[in-house]
């Protein structure tokens, strides 16, 4: 069990809480019997965080354990090893995604991950050495609409699809949610406002240039 109890805020989901506390959504739900619906945790609910993960990853209904392990350079069996609720044949991932949210552990809990290099120390929800920034701007994908106010000084874009959330976008883009909100102001200023404001088919910047907020010439 984690050490510091806390109180949920208005409109938080299991994904929101799990992302901010570096835990998987299923472990958060099973550790806290007062959570009845992962899509809407009542404001003021007292929660106890489970042990934190060495690394978080997002997944979708269409993912398999083998596919996730290949994508994230994991060893065969690691998804089940770090998420013991996953069935031997991985067949319950899709159901878990729809009910609990889309976050898995991709390294042992409670600081037991001892690999050297990126991911070997502390909370690495936004993995090192990625900074979230890029050097050069690129055009947003064709047949998408750049979200209102989003910076065009951007080297990486995400086009929202059904089932996306701000949490899964941050995890797949290796980007801090604070930066996501700064460069995409239509998503609001608080993380709990973010996911409801996503518009399917819109492009959002997930890799702003280092000078994205520089408005004048020297």
Secondary structure of residue 41 in the 3-state scheme: coil
The answer to whether residue 176 sits within a structural domain is yes
pLDDT in tens, 181-192: 999 999 999 888
What pLDDT sits at residue 9? 87
- The count of other CB atoms within 10 Å of the CB of residue 163 is 13
What pLDDT sits at residue 66? 95
The residue-averaged pLDDT of 96-112 equals 83
CB 47 within 8 A of CB 17: yes
Do 41 and 94 reside in the same domain of the chain?
A: yes
Pairwise CA distance, residues 21 & 29, whole Å: 13
pTM above 0.75, yes or no: no
Best CA proximity match to 23, nearest among 46, 2, 38, 40: 2
Q: How many CA atoms lie within 13 A of 170 on its CB side?
A: 28
79 CA to centre of own chain: 17
What pLDDT sits at residue 61? 85
Exposure class string for 23-62: b at 16+ Cβ within 10 A, else e: bbbbbbbebbeebeebeebeeebebebbbbbbbbbbbeee
Pairwise CA distance, residues 187 & 49, whole Å: 27
178 backbone dihedrals φ, ψ, rounded to 5°: -60, -45
The answer to whether residue 62 sits within a structural domain is yes
**Residue corresponding to tokens 């059904």:** 162
Do 214 and 146 reside in the same domain of the chain?
A: yes
What pLDDT sits at residue 200? 96
Count of domains for the chain:
2
Q: How far apart are the first and last CA of the chain?
A: 52
Torsional sign, CA 105, 107, 111, 117 = negative
Torsional sign, CA 217, 202, 179, 206 = negative
- Tell me the pLDDT band of 117, cut-offs 50, 70 and 90: very low
What pLDDT sits at residue 120? 33
The answer to whether residue 187 sits within a structural domain is yes
Domain span including residue 175: 130-218
pLDDT in tens, 118-147: 333 333 333 333 568 999 999 999 999 999
What pLDDT sits at residue 186? 97
The answer to whether residue 72 sits within a structural domain is yes
The answer to whether residue 46 sits within a structural domain is yes
Mean pLDDT, the chain, rounded, equals 85
Pairwise CA distance, residues 170 & 179, whole Å: 10
pLDDT in tens, 37-46: 999 999 999 9
What pLDDT sits at residue 98? 83
Do 143 and 96 reside in the same domain of the chain?
A: no
Q: Enter the tokens of residue 26.
A: 């299923």
Q: Is the pLDDT of residue 164 over 80?
A: yes
The answer to whether residue 1 sits within a structural domain is no
Do 99 and 175 reside in the same domain of the chain?
A: no
Do 11 and 93 reside in the same domain of the chain?
A: yes
Domain boundary among 105, 140, 164: 105
CB 191 within 8 A of CB 177: yes
The residue-averaged pLDDT of 99-107 equals 91
Burial class (CB in 10 A: 0-12, 13-18, 19+), 80: middle
């Amino acid at each position: 069990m984690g050490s510091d109890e806390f109180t949920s805020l208005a409109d938080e989901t299991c994904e929101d809480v799990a992302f901010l506390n570096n835990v998987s959504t299923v472990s958060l739900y099973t550790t806290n019997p007062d959570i009845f619906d992962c899509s809407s945790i009542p404001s003021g609910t007292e929660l106890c965080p489970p042990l934190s993960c060495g690394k978080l990853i997002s997944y979708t209904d269409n993912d398999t354990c083998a596919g996730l392990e290949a994508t994230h350079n994991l060893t065969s069996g690691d998804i089940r090893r770090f998420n013991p609720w996953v069935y031997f044949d991985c067949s319950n991932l899709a159901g878990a995604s729809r009910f609990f949210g889309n976050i898995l552990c991709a390294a042992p809990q409670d600081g037991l991950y001892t690999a050297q290099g990126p991911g070997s120390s502390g909370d690495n929800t936004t993995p090192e050495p990625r900074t979230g920034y890029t050097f050069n701007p690129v055009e947003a994908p064709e047949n998408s609409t750049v979200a209102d106010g989003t910076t065009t000084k951007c080297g990486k874009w995400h086009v929202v699809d059904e089932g996306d959330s701000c949490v899964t976008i941050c995890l797949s883009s290796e980007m801090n949610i604070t930066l996501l909100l700064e460069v995409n102001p239509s998503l609001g200023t608080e993380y709990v406002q973010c996911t409801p404001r996503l518009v399917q088919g819109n492009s959002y910047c997930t890799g702003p240039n280092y000078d994205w907020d520089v408005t004048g010439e020297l």
